[in-house]
Chain A
Amino acid sequence: MTCTMGFVSIKDISFSYDTNQTIIKNISWDIPKGEFHTLIGRSGCGKTTFLKIVAGLVSPTSGRISIDGTTVLTPSHRTGFVFQTPTLLEWLSVIDNVLLPLTISNKKKPEYVDLGLDILASMGLKKHTHKYPNELSGGQQSRVSIARALITEPSLLLMDEPFASLDAMTRQDLQIDLLRLCMKSKTTVLFITHDISEAVYLSDKIALMNSGEIRQNFPIKIDKPRKNEIRYSASFNNLCSDIHDCLKVYHGQTDEAKNK
């Protein structure tokens, strides 16, 4: 892996809606090129807001984010975003949904159409190319939304709990597909989830977030490519257990602070 430290560089990011309520508190984070980092935390701890700040959809109250040396002020064509729900346009066919970013940027050329078809084929959606979103299952819709984010070959992919509404088996299949595609294209990923085993399976590094702060980092030293079987190994489960315990401790501290 060709790693350059700080491909994504996040320095002292804070965000608040008003002076009394700080949502994100002084987060700094470096993501080397091609690495898969995950932010994990309970619902409402500020994960999505943080991801939107990195995407340039929300401006931070203070701090700076840069991607490959360029400061992020607005959404960039180098960044792909996968939302919590597939967010497909139901009046467009699968291929047109995938090609939407190119249609918007007036780059819908035959070679990109071929790329779209390739991505769909690699996600097992070749025979669904001309179907419409309402004809697809939840898992297939999620795959289409990932294909749409990958069509522009982004150097950074931001994913906000994209598999949250799927069943365990579909989620595992999608995790395998995602990891394979990202390794192939050497895409840098910042992923959000509250599923600990999903985070451990996918990531090179996990950051644990609580009340808008990064409390702890967990480097994941499991070789890639990762087989599905590693989920059942003792080391994998110990790691999940450690993260779970930390989450529980920090959540307990937050509850105590609120009760005081």
Chain B
Amino acid sequence: MTKIFSSLLFISFIIGWELFCNISGVSKLIIPAPSEIGIVLWDGLYRGYLWLHIWVTSLEMALGLIIGCSIGFIAGLVLAENKFLRDLLWPYILASQVIPKLALGPLFIIWFGFGMTSTVVITALICFFPLLENTFTGVQYIPPEKRELFRMLRASKLQTLIKLKIPHGMPTILAGIRVSVVLALVGAVVGEFLSGQEGLGATIIAAQGMMDSALMFAVFVIITIVGLVFYFVATVLESFLLRHHKEGTFNGKY
């Protein structure tokens, strides 16, 4: 029922927008009508002009996510397991995250040149911290009885990490991936603003140059869909990996 109301709200919004553009006479440079955005979107997709940009942004996003999340996951494990390294490195990691990553964009362009590499580095840097933070938290908060069980079984530190801490912390770790997915899209698009010649961010900048607001809105629609697809994949992955992760203790049934 809620889904029907949600869809009706969306349809009402689009109709209201269309009527507003037609009745108010507002310039289509400022707010283009949904019908016009739809035509530009269809044209871009039908003629294949937008597909290359969708592919480039998706690839940058995926690469940034994989690299950033992998490093964040490993760094989270290392910091959680090694107090010395945690005390040594944590202030620097925190300081590195306080700097807005996008401010580093121009520097990355000098280092890696214009194009995909700079954007992937920015995206990876943005995705790194949520995974580090969530992995660190997830593997640290293990119920005392489960820790004692592994001590009783004389499990090594590595066995405890692999067989207890990582699986137990998986819900928190995967929540970090969901946050990273959203941030990765921001990283990829904004990275393309700065350094991209291809991709949806670069298309927005090109549309701005041509004063083509309808194309900009069409790209916004695509960015939203790309983001939702990535988020959906992350939630499907999460549901699969956590299919048995309900509380293992007494659940009220006899």
Main secondary structure of the interface of A (DSSP, over half): loop
Instruction: Digitize B129-173: 1 where CB-to-A-CB distance is under 8 Å, 0 elsewhere.
Output: 000000000000001011011111111000100011001101000
A137:B154 contact, CB within 8 angstroms: no
Q: Output the least CB separation between A131 and chain B (Å).
A: 10
The answer to whether the Cβ of B47 comes within 8 Å of any Cβ in the partner chain is no
Check A104–B146 contact: CB distance below 8 A: no
Interface string of A90-129 (1 = CB under 8 A from B): 1110000000110111000000000000000000000000
CB of B84 within 8 Å of the partner chain: no
Do B250 and A141 have beta carbons less than 8 Å apart?
yes
Question: In the complex, which range does the number of interface residues on chain A fall in?
Answer: 35 or more
Known: A74-B154, A90-B248, A91-B170. 14 other contacts (CB 8 A): A75-B154, A79-B152, A81-B149, A86-B248, A86-B249, A88-B249, A104-B155, A132-B244, A133-B244, A133-B248, A134-B246, A137-B253, A138-B250, A138-B251
**Complex-state Cα separation, A135 to B245, whole angstroms:** 11
B87 in contact (CB, < 8 A):
no
Most-contacted residue by chain A among B150, B153, B245 (CB, 10 A): B153
Known: A57-B152, A75-B151, A104-B153. A90 touches B244 (CB 8 A): yes
Q: What are 11 contact pairs spanning A and B, CB under 8 A?
A: A83-B149, A87-B145, A88-B248, A91-B245, A92-B244, A100-B153, A103-B163, A104-B159, A134-B246, A139-B254, A141-B249
CA of A139 to CA of B154 in the docked complex: distance in angstroms? Answer: 27
What residues of A have a CB within 8 angstroms of the CB of B154 in the complex?
Answer: 74-75, 77, 104-105
Task: Report B120 CB to chain A, min CB distance, Å.
Answer: 33
- Docked Cα-Cα span, A101 to B244, in Å, equals 20
User: Complex Cα distance A253/B151, Å?
Assistant: 37
When A and B form their complex, what is the total count of cross-chain residue pairs whose Cβ atoms lie within 8 Å? 88
A92 to B164 alpha-carbon distance, docked (Å): 11
- In the complex, what distance in Å separates the CA atom of A81 from the CA atom of B104? 54
Are A104 and B163 in contact (CB-based, < 8 A)? yes
**What residues of B have a CB within 8 angstroms of the CB of A167 in the complex?**
254
Q: Is the beta-carbon distance between B148 and A83 smaller than 8 angstroms?
A: yes
Please tell me if the beta carbons of B248 and A89 are within 8 angstroms of each other in the complex. yes
Q: In the complex, how many angstroms separate the beta carbon of B167 from the nearest chain A beta carbon?
A: 5
Task: Tell yes or no: A61 within 8 A of B by CB.
Answer: no
Query: A131-168, CB under 8 A of B: which get 1 and which 0?
Result: 01110111101000000000000000000000001110
Whether A28 sits at the interface, judged by CB under 8 Å, is no
Assuming the contacts A100-B153, A132-B244, asked whether A165 and B148 have C-beta atoms less than 8 A apart, the reply is no
CB proximity of B228 to chain A, nearest CB, Å: 28
User: Beta-carbon contacts of B160-190 to A below 8 Å, as 1s and 0s?
Assistant: 0001100110100000000000000000000
| A247 within 8 Å of B (CB atoms) | no
Q: Is A85 interfacial (CB-CB < 8 Å)?
A: yes
Q: How far is the CA of A216 from the CA of B71 in the complex (A)?
A: 59
Contacts of A133 in B (CB 8 A): 244, 248-249
